[in-house]
Structure 1
């Protein structure tokens, strides 16, 4: 799913559960067939980011309050688009949780916002049984949102504009879509495989103490 092009929607079916549908061409999925039904499900009112549609299904992503991301197909008819609203700096402020990452955004001088966060790779992989190496990364910077997007480059000793700095400097873009914070980095913000890219749920509107 391309989050840059995604729109926010809510699940509206009236059913107790709306199950994700697998993407498996070998089984003819996605389709209404029971063989395509996944184990994960949503309930009415849950918000997702949705992008491309095919055959009556829409590709979606959902992040729960613990930052766990679930992606998959949902019936297009089960989704109701959320209205798009103008984003102000306060909409980005808070403590945000993503998959193996968290970010804290606090108000700065004027309309500037300060971003600080950590991410890891390998630490929560159940397949590794808690063993083996893991890698970490960190991001920090202060910038002003432009057209609802907060973007910057981490310089050696200060925050730089997004297009400035060296090619290997950490670059981050953050913006709101519905209730979510969407983040994209350039895969240069930590150790091997570490990335802040993803979909974040707001744990609180205030930074953690």
Structure 2
């Protein structure tokens, strides 16, 4: 899922991160500062998760020009895990907020959410298991990406924490208006919901019993 038609040699004059982010679909990602990547504390434990870790890090930092599919795949995985950590830092959240306000993550596909902007989210922390999804802060649901290019973006770039930490940090971005509920009608009249009626009746009976 992390792989694509990328060829290091064809972008040799560009920094690795710049060329990686320029690929279709990677517009969802933000550029992780070199200072963050060079700080070994931020990368703690990643050497246990990424094969050829040292070589992959050298490629990301443009300290190696070795072109190998295996090493490129390791570099992609390493950048994904670094990106996941960066976007939950104060600076990373700020970068993602700017992208969100520009509408770079797209809108909720649910009609009654009225084009509510969404944010990327993952359903698993494990790389290569699932593509990125999108979380709508209005209806609180997640959706598959609409663009086929984003279907190739691994959810591991964002992890399961980012979307919810984002709205906890920027609570002013949470829609105040609740999502509209679709009401089925026949000839203009609402369809009688027997189950809802039973629940209301039972709740009323319990309330009356408690008051007695």
TM-score (norm 2): 0.25
| Greater share of residues in helix | 2
| Greater share of residues in strand | 1
Specify the structure having the higher radius of gyration (Cα). 2
TM-score (norm 1): 0.25
